[in-house]
A = this chain, B = another copy of it.
Amino acid sequence: KDTYKIAVVHGDGIGPEVGRAAVAVLQTGVQAGTLQFVEYPAGAAHFLETGDSFPVASFEGCRAADAILHGAAGIPGVVHRDGTEAGLDFTLTLRFKLDLFANVRPIKLYKGVPSPLGRPGSIDYVIVRENSEGLYAARGAGALLREEVAVDTLVQTRKGIQRIVRFAFELARTRNGSPKDGRRRVTCCDKANVLRTYAFFRAVFDEVAKDYPDIESEHVLVDAMTVHLVNKPSHFDVIVTENMFGDIISDLGAATVGGMGMAPSEEVGDGIGFFQASHGSAPDIAGKGLANPYGTILASILMLRSLDQRYRDSRLRLGADRIEAAVRAGLEDATLRTRDIGGNATTNQVVDALLKLL
């Protein structure tokens, strides 16, 4: 490919600030002509203006792109008639319509970033969250009877588990970074001792694991997992888990490496990938220059590496390495950290410095 089309949706709150930051860094960090950015509107603010939170044209633009880069979405109180938030439409529509079954959440503690843990040690693992079924299968489909009983259904399919577990093992083989003890390891996080869906998840995990004898595999119950992520995070390499559990433990992981502002997210299916920081739109700090742009920039690095995996293009690889080096340098410099990670820098100060470093 000559040029990769990147659909950019800025969204709400701090979305445009961090989105523009990431685009600026990509434009400087990656060889000119490699990436082509096209902006599309979507989100809660767009819903307020037009009554449409995710226009068809925006969806088509995203679908036709090689990757989608998102700022952040959501305005409190901006909801549909059924009470669901308009800000969620963009992410959830892409996720389910494009069958982005793997949600990849790297949890990495960068030098200079304060962790709430007293002795964090080296933290560098990836949570692979199943993103297409599990308890989220019930999204928008649960039942409420006479305001007396509410029911949601957790569904796990063999196909769904197989593809996410396989994805996790493949990732363990190829990813940069490795656990402290140097062993490649995939950890299945479930609640197999109580629920059949999770017992099934574990059983299929064990089947798939047989195809990867070079990689250690293990099981950890979700409740125990929260303890380990706090007490021995350096143990982990790749963790694979059901949708709802993945939602929960990936935020916990993010908290240990500096918070939601330091946690990028990749959602990927059989083709296109969707990239954003894990944080929300933080309306309380929007427009004040306080937003931490590193999360979205880290998501851009994920995007470049993911495109390179697929198209083998050294311009992407070099760009990713270059931007990551700048991010490392930025984070090590106390004057280039935003408030949420213990500094005083504004969004623009960070971006300007990164552009200079590039």
Contact = CB atoms under 8 A, between A and B. Distances in A.
B247 A223 contact: yes
Contacts of A143: 196
A217 to B, nearest CB: 17
A135 interface: yes
Interface stretch (A150-158, A284-292, A302-310): A150-158
Contacts of A250: 223
A55 B244 CA distance: 36
B158 A148 contact: yes
Interface string A241-268: 0001101111110111001100000000
Q: How many copies does the complex hold?
A: 2
Contact of A154 (B119, B135, B144, B159): B135
A142 B201 CA distance: 13
A157 B101 CA distance: 31
Contact of A226 (B157, B199, B255): B255
B142 A197 contact: yes
A231 interface: yes
Interface string A134-165: 01101100111001111111111111000000
Interface in A184-238: 191, 193-197, 199-201, 222-224, 226-227, 230-231
A57 interface: no
B222 A152 contact: no
A23 interface: no
A334 interface: no
Given A156-B150, A158-B149, A144 B230 contact: no
Given A116-B117, A117-B118, A157-B149, A85 B142 contact: no
A280 to B, nearest CB: 9
Contacts of A152: 153-154, 195-197
A194 B139 contact: yes
Nearest to A151: B155
A88 interface: yes
Contacts of A138: 154, 195-197
A115 interface: yes
B156 A154 contact: no
A191 B201 CA distance: 22
Nearest to A203: B147
Contact of A230 (B88, B135, B255): B255
A153 B153 contact: yes
Interface of A: 83-85, 88, 115-119, 135-136, 138-139, 142-144, 147-159, 191, 193-197, 199-201, 222-224, 226-227, 230-231, 244-245, 247-252, 254-256, 259-260
Lowest 8 CB-CB distances: which A-B pairs, in order? Answer: A142-B196, A150-B200, A226-B252, A223-B251, A118-B118, A227-B255, A150-B197, A230-B255
20 contacts: A116-B117, A116-B231, A117-B118, A135-B135, A144-B200, A147-B200, A149-B155, A149-B156, A150-B155, A150-B197, A150-B201, A151-B197, A152-B196, A191-B247, A223-B248, A226-B226, A226-B252, A227-B251, A227-B255, A227-B260
